[in-house]
Amino acid sequence: MNLRGTISPDRPLLVLAIAEEAAYLDAKLPVLLTGMGKVNAAAAVAATLARQPLPSVLVNLGTAGALHPGWTGTHEIGSVLQHDLDTEFIRRLTGQTVGATLALGDGPTLATGDQFIADDEARAALGRRAHLVDMEGYAVASTAHAFGVPVRVVKQVSDEAGAGADRTWKESVDDCARLLAGWVRANL
């Protein structure tokens, strides 16, 4: 976890997993680097919000894999789900709903899980439930909601989440960081 800048109630807090994704962001806005995965993201956001003034909005930026052919570009997420938590089974077992899909607004569905999707079979299965896949979005949005902070999730497609996605991600992360910085300049 690494917080750059100062959080204040009149400015957004930008939240990203790793420094490579944040390379071109304006240093005037506070940036929280959480580390990869749901646990790191939730812990970093919770620890930061618990000891700082709350920001005006929390904006999770990052890369995502496309679960359908032809998906490219920058997308503001409309809903986010956890693809590696069997919410329906837990509900049947306990009667409690844990990890329900979070509605954020209009836009595509993001599936979050602690697995980098680089397999065509996994991609096809996830594609029946979502448009994009990442490793932090749900955790960031859920934690922001727990603290009563508005949240936006914005993802730049870096790869097609199938065979070879790991290579494609490495090759595209710098361009994705530039595009995300451009989105921040245009929208915040």
Task: Tell me the mean pLDDT in the region 172-182.
Answer: 97
Number of independent structural domains in the chain: 1
170 HSE (CA, 13 A, CB side): 4
The answer on pLDDT for 150 being more than 80 is yes
- Go through the chain and tell me how many residues it has: 188
The answer on pLDDT for 48 being more than 80 is yes
Q: What is the pLDDT of residues 79-136, one digit of tens each?
A: 999 998 777 877 788 888 778 899 999 999 999 999 888 889 999 999 999 999 999 9
pLDDT value of position 84: 84
The pLDDT mean for the chain works out to 94
* Amino acid (1-letter code) at residue 91: R
Range of the domain at 167: 2-187
For β-strands 102-103 and 13-16, DSSP reports them as: unpaired
d(CA 7, CA 110): 27
DSSP codes of every residue in 85-128: S-HHHHHHHHS---SPPEE-SSS-EEEE-SS----HHHHHHHHT
The answer on pLDDT for 175 being more than 90 is yes
Closest C-alpha among 78, 99, 89, 87 to residue 151: 78
- CB count within 10 Å of CB 103 equals 11
pLDDT value of position 55: 98
As a whole number of Å, the end-to-end CA separation of the chain is 23
**Residue 109 belongs to domain with CATH number:** 3.40.50.1580
